[in-house]
Amino acid sequence: MSDEQVRLGELRDEIDQIDQKIMELISARAACAQEVAHVKTTANPGQDVFFYRPEREAQVLRRIKEQNPGPLSGEEMARLFREIMSACLALEKPMHIAFLGPIGTFTQAAALKHFGHSVVSVPLPAIDAVFREVESGAAHYGVVPVENSTEGMINHTLDMFMSSPLKICGEVQLRIHHHLLVCPKHGDQEITRIYSHQQSFAQCRQWLDTHRYGIERVTVSSNAEAARRAAEEPGTAAIAGDMAAELYGLEKLANSIEDRPDNTTRFLIIGREEVPASGHDKSSILVSMRNKPGALYQLLEPFHRHGLSLTRIETRPSPSGTWAYVFYIDFEGHVEDEQVRKVLAEVDEEAVELKRLGSYPIGVL
């Protein structure tokens, strides 16, 4: 045997031994997670026990990224632990996660990125249906899009919070790569029609005008639906992501056609319970102010005075009357923080209505 073969054999034996240790440690972690569930269930007989703790998982993932020795990146190491935690949690009770469907959408990809692949993902046809599924208790949590870096806020999601009792429990950001997809069995057909969601068409407008000008663009309910149609109809293509391409067996005619390379969508995790502080949090509120001069200044001034950083402010028409508006505000901090309590108390004095939508960990992955 050559020196190379000898050394490779030694390294493979070492990898086998390490794999065995990893397997034993993961099993030990899973057993510990089962014991945690047993302790919680025993201490709260007959009650609904929440095994999933968003703030705890955020703390674990942050620590993994900070203490990761390499050579894997902190992001990659955290993703591995995300799946380990997801599998351990599913030993007791697999979570049902509602998302804006159908299967193969970016929202499903965001749900799996946040919760891991050991959950039961439930596709629903509309954002309001996701809210109802979680409100009824049929799903533990829901995932809905709220903001795209190119096209702005998803107004339907914001409007649902005006009437829903649900809380925001987390957030996840997903880099959005759009591809022009075709079915391999229709490869000899000239493309005369492109299917996609209206948001995707908007995010790829410049590329389409340059490379596919004059081809009919047909808006459908989701990118996954676009992929399904492209798989069935000769002479058509779809704009969709990797998950939809794999699901419907499509190939990429053009890769990453989004106009902005940093195209990112932010999704919110919605649930029924409030989330304790994790140490690096964000809060969201809805505020209706009296229609008078200086109302916006009175709303924002306390945040500046107490040093709270606003990350988003959006205006939506109020359902209570014509030309009345509701402000949707994201800011850094948790409602348990002293400075946040002071600011919200001052805002509450001036506001017609203040609705706390939730405090939650800033997205780790």
Q: Point out the residues that are catalytic.
A: 265, 267
Residue 294: how many other CB atoms lie within 10 Å = 10
State the Cα torsion 158-244-90-358 to the nearest 10°.
Answer: -10
Q: DSSP states of 186-236 as a string? A: GTTSPP-EEEE-HHHHHHTHHHHHHHSTTSEEEE-S-HHHHHHHHHHSTTE
| Residue pair 295/327 in contact by the 8 Å Cβ criterion | no
Q: Which has the closest alpha carbon to 287: 311, 315, 249?
A: 315
Centre a 10 Å sphere on the Cβ of residue 259 and count the other Cβ atoms it contains: 16
Contacts of 47 (CB under 8 A, 6+ apart): none
